[in-house]
Each structure stands twice: as structure tokens, then as C-alpha cells.
Amino acid sequence: MSKLFDTQALGKPRRHVRSATGYFPETDATGKEKWPRGDEETWKAGLRSVDADVNDITKSIVHHIQTSLARQAYNIDNLGAYQATALAAREDLIINWNQTQMTYTRKQPKRAYYLSLEFLMGRTLDNALLNLGLKEKFETGLDKLGFTLEDVLDSERDAALGNGGLGRLAACYVDSGATCEIPLWGYGLRYHYGMFQQLIAPDGSQLEAPDPWLDNSNPWEIPRLDVTADVRFGGHAEKLDKGRGIWSGGQEVLAVAYDCPIPGSDTKSTNNIRFWSARPRRGFDLQSFNAGDYDRAVETSNSAANITNVLYPNDNHYAGKSLRLQQQYFWCAASLSDIMRRFKNTGQPISEFPNHVVIQLNDTHPTLAIPELMRILVDEEEVPWDDAWQIVTRTFAFTNHTVLPEALEKWPVSLFQQLLPRHLQIIYDLNWTFLQSVERKFPGDVDKMARMSLIEEGHGQQIRMANLAVLGSFKVNGVAELHSELVRTTILKDFVDFFGVDKFRNVTNGITPRRWLDQCNPALSNLITETLGSRAWLKDLYLLKGLLEHESDPTFQKKWAAAKANNKERLAKYIKNTLGVTVDSKAMFDIQVKRIHEYKRQSLNILGVIHRYLTIKAMSPEERTKVTPRVVLFAGKAAPGYWMAKLIIRLIVNVGKVINADPDAKGILTVLFLPDYSVSLAELLIPASDISEHISTAGTEASGTSNMKFCLNGGLLLGTVDGANIEIAEEVGEENVFFFGHLTPAVEELRYQHRYHPMPVEKKSPALAAVLEDIMSGRYGDASIWEPFVNTIRQGDYYLISDDFDSYLQAQKMVDEAYTKDPQQWIKKSIQTTAKMGKFSSDRAIMTYAEEIWNIETLKIN
């Protein structure tokens, strides 16, 4: 009739039974109910602890189980325990959050708003408990209820609100904003499905499945159903005098706010990210439904919901481009409406707007906020055109994240005409005035005017969003010293000539040490705190230099190595559980994790792996015993429409299958692609790395932040002289970094040679030629599959694989020698690397923004 039912394969058994009618507590021989976990009295009273704070926590968890979740002790599993624990932790967040917002309202400080299309938050519970200083107390409270905090934390799904480094940077910055007590809000979109769940087919191909991360509800979001904004698309725009206009008709969509509190570390300061969800302005069409036209009855509702369904819809077709532009305007319009409403509540005249508001544009995605603010000021607030433009250009600052021309957003004028006719008028008017100024400053330089125009002429006019972002912002910054210099001297050189160099500056990216060491690497974090004598380093990362006093201490080195070994064993266990593959945790862990893209050169890595494999195959059994065992791990997602990136994933997977099944490579070389890369997976991979690869073609990576995360956790860096790799080497010492490859100044000359004076790969790099021949031999699958990939190297080689391959192999040889010959020296290098990473805290970066760009002061929350 009924049986003992274990709701989880892992963890303690749940002592409850399942029958046809539901869950019931198990009874003993006398008929008395057995409590499923922990102490019966603790469950009944929500207390029984020597610590009053733990009492309150336990009470709160039990309360939320019974009332918020409407469940009982006998049918609660880890997921239910997570939801109740999150709601209990949220109570502490909200108290501080409300106090923070009341302080901002009362004191009316200048506030910064960070507009980012992505916020890659990861899991929230562990981070929140650490920042609130409550982790140990919650762990104790959960233990009294028969749960382990580790199991509860593992039940949380990653928030699918971002994809890569851009979104993770935004998440780090809002964390640091709260920690540094800066009045900073984020604005983003509440994607229902996120980007996608990455699956790997048997043939190695990437498959994309929906990621319905909101299906189990998100306890960290607070619906603000009373905070809405009307957003218009299409319709008709009529120009009036003095630059004003009227925009009417078209489709109206409702933006509904969902708030996510962001706690600072060791402070009451708790800031906010406001995410917008799209709903129809006029919902269900009852007349169509009654007439039997059911599709039409829900058409409006579905079209509105599509706007916030998926992060980055495939824009390889017109419908995808249209939806993506709708996303960007919907988010910008709703955010500007909310910001303007909040400003008006101060009672200040509109001319004071820039003295109270600064808006940071995270890449070109939110650039539509510039013409949108112009529209609000001119059309709705009736501010004269020139005065409105002065307000706009004192409000916005723009962060550029790329020097790749193809990555700078452009939108067809025809699409703007269809969706945003009023904004097209505004952009044309801005462009006309701007080009007149360019003509006056550079008379007769038609080419410069053409390059600086907001409109790209030619077959199908396009709006250049980067040009618009620069024109409408008072500051433009790059995200690493090299990148910022390239921005000034290449893609934005004309604007530097026009505005002067003072408008352009650098703010090197940073990461939060709270998540990227304390949370993801507790073994190392505890050792650091024990050694330094306090946790103050979490808010002043330069204090890590105190570790240098212990770098040669054998006892400290042993503890450091033990922390690394613990992390490698943890990752090996994950790999065994998810892929069924056993990896040697004593081998060197060589890791490259990031978005799959040709310029990031996962291709170079896997070609190097094949070379290593061929070298092993050519060895005698005795020679193989001297090879440094290595586990090579890849992870990352390719955009659904990026065919070549998906082909690279397929090659990695198939190469791994062959190598891992070959007895000649057993125990020497293991190659794996870990599917569905996420923040949570990164938190396992990064602490376990011995070496991490950041091998983009020189001059193509703006900064990178994964390089900072790996180095902060004591992994050594193998990379090109690109992005923030350069500044990391300057801080930690070049002797602790394995550099290779051509430098940025040589890149264009090499590309010129590839175009006009090509040299066969066989002559340039015989080693690479042998690898390409091996790929085309059919060893890793039908050669015709790989031919397009091989041709990108043989014909053009835009990303300079053949030019850097031999240098890459030499760097890998140096890594092998350093790791094998002197393990103590390797540990010392690891300690030195972590100790010298103080510069790369996002606290430093956000304070640079606050002091040098935003002109915002800290505000203590009492």
C-alpha cells in the first residue's frame, strides 16, 4: 500500500511515506509519528539552541515551511528547505534594504544607475549569508532541523540572467557598490528562460534547450506589481517645431518591476537590481476568443511576453533582430521612466537632473537610453532642444567592451523606422547638428565625417550605436590599460581627435573577492584568514600581500597545497558524478572556461592538445612514464547562430573521446568538455586550476575577468600579452606568468601577410601542419566535418593560429617543467600570485567609477 520513499538519491533518508493520496509522516510500532529529520522539539518549537540568533533563524525557517510554502515537516525535501531558508535569509536582507532606500530618499544623494543587458548572478543564498555574516548560524539552524547547508545550497538553480563576462562584471559591480556604500542601482531584464541550457549530443554537437529557471519560483525577487511603465513600439511620429514631436499609435507593452536586493559585505548597505518583465498592456482578447479565434485571442499577450522570454534571441534573421531591438528599447524606456519618476519625487527642477543622476551604459546595448531621455525631456517635459542635450550629455557615461569592429552594434534604419520612428527622428537631428560641428573642426575631411556619422551609409543604412554612445556620454572608458589605449587609437580615434583625450579613460575591470575566493574556495579563504589574523582582506584585497611573509614557510606551503588538492578532489568528484569519467586529481589541471569564440582561441588550445597526444603516441612506454600527467578541461557556450564556434565544441568533444579511450594516453592525458557552463560550475573549476588559459589573439580581448578569478585562487596564468593579462603580470611578476605569442603591434602586419603573401602552414609551423593532417585523417570523425575549421587556418588565419602555435607549444613545455621539476617553487608561485592580486578587486574598480567618473560619495547606512 505504501512504502518508504527517498525523495533524493543523495543525503540522509527522508523518513516519510508516500501513498496514493500524498505524503504522510512515518509512524513507529506504537503509532507515534516519526520526525523526518533532526530534533522533534526543534521542529515543533522552531528553537532549542544555545544561541538566540540561531533560535530566531530556526523559527523563521520552520515558519516559512509551514506558511510561505504551505508544507509540513514530513514532506519537505532539500528544495523546499532551500526555499524556506532563502525566504528566512531574505528577511534580514529586506530590513537592511528598506533602511538603505529610506536613507537615500531622506538624504537625496546623487545616485548611479548601472544599465546592463546581463546580470550573471549565479546562486544567491550562499553569497547573501556570507555578506550578512550569517552563514555559520544558518548552518547550525539547518543542522538542528536535520539538513546540511551544503545540500540546501546545491538545490538552488543559477539565475539565468546573463551569459558571460559582461554579465558577471555587472554582478560584481553591484556587489561592490553595496559593500563600498555607494548609492548604486542596477537595471536589467527578467528573462524567463535565460540564454539556454547547453546539451552535448552523442556526436559532440551543442544542442540548446530552454532553461526555465523561474519554474520553481525565485525567492530572491520581490514583485513590484505597482511599479510599471508603458512602452510603445511602432505607430506614427510627427515632428513639431523646436525639435519636439508626438509619438502615437502602435503597440503598447507594460513593463513590470521585480526587485532583487544586493547586500554589501559587513555593512547594512543593501542596494538593488530592478528587473523588468514584459506584459501586454491590454491582455486577453475576449471578443476574438468568443468568436472562436483562439490564436488571435492570445496573440497580443504572447508577443509581449516574447520580449523578456530569452536572453539574446538569435539575430541571424530579421525576426530575431527585431525582437532584440525591442528588448533593448523596452528595458531602456522602462528604466528611464523609473529613474525620472524617482528624480521628480525630489522636487528638484529638471535642470538639476545630472546633479542627482548618472547612468552608466554597460556596452552599447543600453545606448537607446540616450535618445529616449531626449524624447522624455523634449516631448514630455518640454525642455528646449539644446538644454535637453546638455542634460543628456552630463548624465551618461559609456563603458566600451570591445575593439572588434564586427562586435559594435548597428541597427538597420528600416527596423528603427518600423519600431522606433520617433527615436529615428531624434537620431537624425542629433547627427545633423553633430556633423556640422565636425565639418567646422575638420573642414573638407569628408572621410572623417563619414566615419563619425551616427548613420552608416551604403547598401542599407544602419545606425551606429557605439558612435551614438560616445556622442551622448560625458566619459568613455575601456576596461584594461591596453584595451583603453586601443580604443583611443583605433576604433574611436576620430572621436578622440574631436572631443580631446580627457573624455576617454581607463577603468580596469575587477572581481568581488567575496564570491570569487571566500564563497567558492572556503579552504583557501580560511587559510588566508587564519594566516592574516582577520577577514579584513575581503574588503581590502591589498592586505593579501601579508601572505608574502609566509611564502617560503614549508608548513604554510603544505597547507596551501592541501587546499588546492581539496579543490581538485571536489572537482574530480563532480566530473565523476556528471560525466561518469574518473580523473586523477593529482594530475595538473589545465582549464580554459569562457564563451566559445574564435578570437578567444579555444581552437589553439585543442590543437595543442592534439599535438601533445601525437607526441605521447610517438613515445616508448618508458618515455611516457616521464610525462607530466595533465587533465585538460574546457567549458563555455557558443551562441546558437555561431556555427564555427559550435564546430570547435564538436572538435573538442570528439578529440576528448579518442584520447580518453586510448590506452597509450591513459593516466597521462585526459580531455573533457563540461557542458552547460555557469557561475556555479565556475565556482568549482576556478579553485581547482593549476594553470588557466587566456590565449586570445593579441589586441582582441578587452580585459577578461576569468583571468583574475583564476589567479586570485592561486592558479597560474598561461596567456597572450592581451587585455588584463598584461596588468596581472605587472602585479604578480612576469616570472609567475607563462606568456607566448605575437604582440598587438604585429597583428595587423601579420594579417596583411596572410592576405597578400600567404605562407603554407607546412613551412610556417610543421608541428601545426601535422596536427591539421591528423584531424583530416578521420581519427576524430569524418574529415569533411572538420574541413571548414581547418580552412580557417589554412586560408586567411585571421586569428593567427599558425603564427602563435610554436610559441604556444614552447610555453606549454615551460609549464610542464615548472610544475614537475620543483613542486615547492610552483606552490611559491601560486602563493605569490594570490598575494599580489589586490588591484583586481571590483571594490577598487567601483570606487574609481564613483570618484573619477560619477562624482558620487559614499553614504553610510546606520
Element (DSSP H or E) covering residue 809: helix 801-821
Beta strands 236-239 and 245-248 are antiparallel
Q: Which three cell numbers stand for residue 19?
A: 501513498
Contact 837, 844 (CB under 8 A): no
Give the strand order in the sheet containing 111-115. Answer: 222-233, 251-263, 270-280, 184-189, 111-115, 357-362, 396-399, 473-478, 504-506
Whether 505 and 484 have beta carbons less than 8 Å apart is answered as: yes
635 with 731: CB under 8 angstroms? no
**Cα–Cα separations (whole angstroms), residue 97 to 63, 69, 104, 179, 268:** 22, 23, 11, 13, 8
**Closest among 332, 286, 278, 281 to 309, alpha carbons compared:** 278
Cα–Cα distances (Å) from 517 to 459, 541, 648, 708, in that order, read 51, 11, 31, 11
Copy the grid coordinates of residue 144.
538542528
Q: What's the CA gap between 65 and 59, in Å, rounded?
A: 10
Catalytic residue numbers read: 401, 594-595, 600, 705, 709
Using an 8 Å Cβ cutoff, are 635 and 677 in contact? yes
**b/e per residue, 742-751, with b = 16+ CB within 10 A?**
bebeebeebb
Under 8 Å between Cβ of 558 and 830 = no
E strand or H helix at 456: strand 455-456
Burial string for 310-343 (b: 16+ CB within 10 Å, else e) reads bbbbbbeeeebbbbbbbbbbbbbbbbbbbbbebb
Nine-digit cell at 398? Answer: 559609456
Residue of 300, 306, 249 lying closest to 277 (CA atoms): 306
